[in-house]
Amino acid sequence: MNALHPLLRKAYDPDRFGKLARDIVADLEQHLREVQSRHTQRSMPWTPPDDERGFWEGRLNRPEGLVELMRLVVERSNRLQDPRYMGHQVAVPFPDGALVGMVTDMLNNGGAIYEMGPTNSAMEEVLMSRIGRMMGLPDGCGGVMCHGGTLANLVALLAARGWKAGPDADPWTQGDDGLGAVLVSDQAHYCVDRAVRIMGWGAEGVGLVATDARHKMTGEGLTEALRDMEARGRRVVSVVGSACTTSSGAYDDLNLLADFAEEHGLWFHVDGAHGAPAVFSERYAHLVAGLGRAHSVAMDFHKVMGVPALCTGLWYGRHDHSFLPFTQAAEYLWSDAEEPEWWNFGKRTFECTKRMLSTRVAAVLEEYGAEIWGHLIDRLFDLGRELADQVERRPDFESAMPPEANIVCFRHVPESMNSTSSEELNAFTAALRKKHLEEGPQYVVMTRFGGETWLRCTLMNPLTEAEDLEAMLDRIAFLAQDLTLQ
Ligand SMILES: Cc1ncc(COP(=O)(O)O)c(C=O)c1O
């Protein structure tokens, strides 16, 4: 047998690990101080994709050591902790989450079966039912943690398919006729459409429900979409509510959807990847009234709950429904045991190996309690309202709609463009966004709906202040001057 290679000895050396950790954590502490105080030039060091690839092609040929590499990654990455970050819906993680990540990455217990990660598995079971009850789900609720809302929504729809098929059919084993369908808002996240296609129901399996001016599904829209799908020979299994929509942050009326699902014998799933945490806020919980009536709910801990990505919960109103997605009749396929074996999570998750997700959530509860989620929602949703008010006060800006969440869509319409066509205004907005992306210092994104292009902010950083929002609007108006002059 070969002797242990010195490189392997180096890789596993505890002294070296301790030294690296101290250096890297010291750098991160410094980084946090700098970006939180807006001392870096901008919240996003934009580089065109080919330039960035060129940079890394060169750099990765000249290794300088881990500490140097980490410094470079920190320097060149987006700075979510910068209060001027107001772009996409990624959590600005509570910094101690990075320490939890360090511990769990070291332990690297897998979660497919209990014995691979006993602590983490048991915590997952406890937390899913405890947090589910905090969310208003019934006693007896439960679920699993998984890697992302996209996956959670797919798994929920697999559960819906199994449930709707009933105990005598087993689509998991036998497949189905490919004619299943789901009703979902025309403003829903694309992953619902993707899930339906993955399930083999094709584009026709997505019954888009028309929304009103506030991007909410209506009763008439639901009835019409159901009738339409049935007329086309489709078997609707589920109605999916958005809490909230991605583009504009609109909350569907979940009680309306629950009533509709009950009336028509449908599985009611809530895609609460972004906005379900409103349930933790006294001020904003009304937005998700009816959440507790859902058969299943997806909620991302890695959006407005301060946990690093990816970390999602998928809850079922009934714990035993969590076995529906991957087995129908043969729930106990993987073992001779006559019991569901909650502890072997791989029976219920798409993933086999998964990260130690529950430890990350437990860490938040341990340090701060669930109330921190309420405070985070209050702060971020209040910032959404503050931005909308500022837009309202400026005659050369307009809002797409009053925000319900921390997502605000707006645009700049300089006086000189008051009577331009919609196409011109869209092109102007896109050009303005591109210029702002390139020049900063804030990070703002863009969206389109109803044929109109909008600038879009998701207020993710609780350290953002009203002055940061004013500065962003000033900057947009300033950059627009160059464009209007051309
Ligand atoms: C409403 C909604 N659902 C699902 C997703 C997808 O979640 P993930 O990025 O965790 O896969 C998003 C992401 O933006 C979302 O906003």
Element spanning 53, H or E: helix 49-59
The per-residue pLDDT for 100 is 98
What DSSP assignment string belongs to 113-127?
SGGGSHHHHHHHHHH
d(CA 347, CA 336): 13
Strand partners, 446: 455
Please determine, looking at this structure, whether the domain spanning 14-90+380-486 carries the CATH number 3.20.20.370: no
Distance 295 CA to ligand 1 centre (A): 19
In degrees and rounded to multiples of 5, residue 167 shows phi and psi of -65, -20
The DSSP code for 215 is S
Report the interhelical angle of 118-134 vs 357-367 (nearest 10°). Answer: 60
Region 104-367: CATH code: 3.40.640.10
Q: Which of 145, 146, 150 should be mutated for ligand 1, with most atoms under 8 A from CB?
A: 150
d(CA 343, CA 268): 26
Q: Please check whether residue 327 is in contact with residue 172, taking contact to mean a CB–CB distance below 8 angstroms.
A: yes
Domains of the chain, residue spans: 14-90+380-486, 104-367
Does ligand 1 have an atom closer than 6 angstroms to the CB of 341?
no
The per-residue pLDDT for 258 is 98
Ligand 1 atom at shortest distance from the alpha carbon of 88: 14
d(CA 71, CA 53): 18
Q: Which two tokens stand for residue 190?
A: 């694309």
HSE-up of residue 467 (Cα within 13 Å, Cβ side): 2
> CB atoms < 10 A from the CB of 34, how many?
15
The per-residue pLDDT for 407 is 98
Does ligand 1 have an atom closer than 6 angstroms to the CB of 300?
yes
Return the beta strands (E) in 61-121 as ranges.
none
Does ligand 1 have an atom closer than 6 angstroms to the CB of 81?
no
pLDDT in tens, the chain (486 residues): 899 999 999 999 999 999 999 999 999 999 999 999 987 778 888 999 999 999 999 998 888 999 999 999 999 999 999 999 999 999 999 999 999 999 999 999 988 889 999 999 999 999 999 999 999 999 999 999 999 999 999 999 999 999 999 888 889 888 999 999 999 999 999 999 999 999 999 999 999 999 999 999 999 999 999 999 999 999 999 999 999 999 999 999 999 999 999 999 999 999 999 999 999 999 999 999 999 999 999 999 999 999 999 999 999 999 999 999 987 544 444 454 556 789 889 889 999 999 999 999 999 999 999 999 999 999 999 999 999 999 999 999 999 999 999 999 999 999 988 889 999 999 999 999 999 999 989 999 999 999 999 999 999 999 999 999 999 999 999 999 988 655
Distance 78 CA to ligand 1 centre (A): 19
Ligand 1 atom at shortest distance from the alpha carbon of 153: 4
Distance 256 CA to ligand 1 centre (A): 22
Closest C-alpha among 227, 252, 250, 225 to residue 240: 252
The per-residue pLDDT for 262 is 98
Does ligand 1 have an atom closer than 6 angstroms to the CB of 269?
no
User: What's the whole-model pTM score?
Assistant: 0.96
Distance 409 CA to ligand 1 centre (A): 18
In the numeric block, the tokens 């497949």 are attached to 175
Closest C-alpha among 160, 184, 167, 326 to residue 252: 184
Distance 404 CA to ligand 1 centre (A): 17
Does ligand 1 have an atom closer than 6 angstroms to the CB of 189?
yes
Does ligand 1 have an atom closer than 6 angstroms to the CB of 252?
no
